A and B are shown apart, each in its own frame.
Chain A
Amino acid sequence: MTHRIRPAFFSALLVIALSVPVFGLKLTTEGIALIVEGATASTYWIIAACAVGMFFWTLFHERLAAGWAASPNLPRILAGAGSFLTLPSTQRWIICTLIVVALVWPFFGSRGAVDIATLILIYVMLGLGLNIVVGLAGLLDLGYVGFYAVGAYTYALLSEYFGFGFWSALPIAGAMAALFGFLLGFPVLRLRGDYLAIVTLGFGEIIRILLRNMTDITGGPNGISGIEKPTLFGLSFDRRAEEGMQTFHQFFGLEYESIHKVIFLYLIAVLLVLLTLFVINRLLRMPIGRAWEALREDEIACRALGMNPTIIKLSAFTLGATFAGFAGSFFAARQGLVSPESFTFIESAIILAIVVLGGMGSQLGVILAATVMILLPELMREFSEYRMLMFGALMVVMMIWRPQGLLPMQRPHLELKP
């Protein structure tokens, strides 16, 4: 154990050093003495406790780990539950239950909760789309938010200049995002790994900066506002309808309530997520789905089998972009406002975190992770200053505890007829 003492001391010192930026402490010189500013007595106690805790942890954690491994009960139960949860049949049941719950609860939930749920669903859609690119085809895409922006602006511009409604613009937005995915994919897909990540990262930024600077068309940093909200077969959800239109509450003879609109938006989001899930599930069972995974495993072997890696990658890239386009146009419709600031790199990072956290390739995992990633910051508003710190901590804990993700994928089996 003596050999652990030095690293233990070092860790404790590191805790103290790190506490300075984390707690926003200021070091100032007063004469020849160094003074710490901005700390109360309790802050000192917290830092001291953390340092002591870290000291002992570093000293003893090997023994603790050994003790943990020696007591077989806990981990085994966890592992059993984990593999049960990730079985395809279980996942199907869970998804069915989730769908029913998702369709029913908003009628009893509060307005704020439904609104947050809608936001979560947007991220689920984005996560599912990126999951194709990163989780299945293994192409690290850090500029995914670019396609999201393309979708959002497509609808915003169509609505602003040509008076398109949400439903007619939705497929166009998807197609535009797909086109951008295709155009970007063509030159960059010969790159691999880190290089691909950097180029896609650049692409995301280019889109954002382009949108900010094409002031004449996109309104620059102010964005586009007053985007039309979705309608239900021509019934709007506003208090008063425009001329020649009818509102939802008039048509059904209800009192006007603003929550109708929120629930309606939520239901559209559920619909879009279901559509995404359905399409991806179908694709996974088709040869192209397996080809994506095969490509992730071994590109050379794929070529040896006569497959064309470029086409397979391009299909994954384009399809992933399409779903981002759908999500983007829905986002624009929900907000009624788009501006370049909604499409910064941190959005790409959050979507990627959702995919990684959920377990690469796992759809249920993506849903769970999106819920966690969006809900946690909302629930912990008091700690909003430490939000990024918590993301970081969450990622570190995940990589240690469950590197394969919350609910890693167990792939559907191809069935052989006897």
Chain B
Amino acid sequence: MLYFTNVSTCYGKIQALHEVNVEVRKGEIVTLIGANGAGKSTLLMTLCGSPQAASGSIRYEGEELVGLQTPQIMRKSIAVVPEGRRVFARLTVEENLAMGGFFTAKQDFQEQMDRVLTLFPRLKERLEQRAGTMSGGEQQMLAIGRALMSKPKLLLLDEPSLGLAPIIIQQIFEIIEQLREDGVTIFLVEQNANQALKLADRGYVLENGHIVMQGTGEELLADPKVRDAYLGG
């Protein structure tokens, strides 16, 4: 469904990604783990077209994404939950969701809204509330819900567990699993390697802009090097 082939990305003179190859197949949960500054978010942002890849190719459902503008890419049944949630703080929950469905066809809009509100009953209780007044976990749910409003086939999540309590992380991950069962393919960028690998079908380990390891979730979890570096031994 999604293929990164020899993708390199630079910020000015600094090369953040070195010839990265990543593959996401339909219906999978694929996770990308790595330390701070390894280039995880860069990889995701490159997919979104901001920054543009310096070389290599990113193909989504047979279509080349490198060279397209961000708005064009984001309307191709791809949705992203950006790092740090980034909900529209002074808009209500309902309006946040409506913004997510900005390009959704009118006949699908209501259906998507209902789907999101069944998935996140908490949001239903707070439709009228301003997003900025909610807790971090609720905001994360809203960010995911907002992304789902565009009826994506591929959902990109950038550190959904950032700054959340363990019990909330558990909930968020359960929801991600549920989404996969609904047929959404998921590409998950995480620092919380333990949880992410348990959930994922396959995983990649990114170090200083290189993919250093890949395998199924269990393989990586069992790997002594991964255990040392990311799972605290």
Contact = CB atoms under 8 A, between A and B. Distances in A.
Same complex: yes
Interface stretch (A20-28, A164-172, A253-261, A304-312): A304-312
Interface string B139-167: 00000001100100000000000000000
Contact of B110 (A305, A307, A417): A417
Contacts of B94: 413-414, 416
Given A300-B86, A416-B94, A307 B128 contact: no
A44 B53 CA distance: 72
Nearest to B74: A306
B86 A416 contact: no
Interface string B79-106: 1111000111111101100111011000
Contact of A290 (B73, B79, B86, B99): B99
Contacts of A302: 99
A305 B74 CA distance: 6
B55 interface: no
Contacts of B48: 303-304
B88 A303 contact: no
A294 B74 contact: no
Contacts of B126: none
A414 B146 contact: no
Interface string A393-418: 00000000000000000010110110
A305 B91 contact: no
Contacts of A413: 92, 94, 128
B102 A297 contact: no
Contacts, number: 77
B98 A305 contact: no
Contacts of A291: 99, 102
Interface string A275-286: 000000000000
Max chain B CB contacts within 10 Å: which of A291, A293, A301, A417?
A: A301
Given A414-B95, A416-B94, A305 B146 contact: yes
Given A294-B91, A306-B75, A287 B102 contact: yes
B71 A308 contact: yes
Contact of B88 (A294, A308, A414, A416): A294
A304 B100 CA distance: 9
Interface residue range, chain B:
20 to 34
Interface in A341-372: none
A298 interface: yes
Given A303-B50, A306-B75, A290 B95 contact: yes
Interface residues of A, number: 21
A305 B102 CA distance: 8
Max chain A CB contacts within 10 Å: which of B69, B74, B80, B88?
A: B88
A107 to B, nearest CB: 43
A300 B102 contact: no
B91 to A, nearest CB: 6
A301 B143 CA distance: 9
A306 B92 CA distance: 20
B70 interface: yes
Interface string B92-135: 10110011101100000010010000000000000110000000
A306 B102 contact: yes
B100 A305 contact: yes
13 contacts: A291-B102, A293-B95, A294-B99, A303-B74, A304-B82, A305-B99, A306-B71, A306-B74, A306-B102, A411-B91, A413-B94, A414-B94, A416-B113
Interface of B: 48, 50, 69-71, 73-75, 79-82, 86-92, 94-95, 98-100, 102-103, 110, 113, 127-128, 146-147, 150
Sort A-B residue pairs by CB-CB distance and give the 10 closest, nearest first: A306-B74, A297-B88, A301-B86, A308-B71, A306-B75, A304-B80, A294-B99, A304-B82, A294-B88, A298-B86
